[in-house]
Amino acid sequence: MYEVKNPIEEAKANPEVRHLSLWRTDLTYYWTINCEENMQDDMHYHENDDHIFMVLEGQCTVRTPEDEFVLNPHDTILLKSGQPYQLCNTGEGRLLLFGAGNSQVDGKPRTRVPRRPSHIPVREPIIA
């Protein structure tokens, strides 16, 4: 079966959805994060899920306990499982991220530490 989705068009069609699931297979999971200006996620990590993020629109600052990376459109970052990170919309306007992860490859369910719901924006940084 073939399923074609345009992440930008999907986000535009569902502007109220922050974490929009696109595809899931036995080995990977693909999603978009749609975040308004001056918002950010909390610092968290996944015990068994590497993540790749690519900026489609806007600017994203990725914070880790050790460093900070500013990503612009088409920039990509790999976050290995166990690496704490925080996603921040530091640009003007909407941030649209394309994400991919390898959750459940080892048969274990996807984790998130702390167990707060994913991608709830906060106004001040929460440092791990």
pTM flag (> 0.75): yes
Q: Per-residue pLDDT for 119 more than 90?
A: no
In order of their start, the domains of the chain are 7-101 (2.60.120.10)
Predicted confidence at residue 128, as pLDDT, reads: 46
Among residues 94, 100, 92, 93, which one has the least CA distance to residue 76? 100
Q: Which of 48, 6, 3, 54 is nearest to 24 (CA)?
A: 3
The DSSP letter of residue 40 is B
| pLDDT surpassing 60 at residue 118 | no
Q: For residue range 8-17, list pLDDT tens digits in order.
A: 898 889 888 8
pLDDT of 116 over the 80 cut: no
pLDDT value of residue 64:
92
Using 50, 70 and 90 to split pLDDT, how confident is the model at 46?
confident
What's phi and psi for 28, nearest 5 deg? -145, 165
CA quadruple 27, 84, 40, 61: dihedral positive or negative?
Answer: negative
- Helix (H), strand (E) at residue 9: helix 7-13
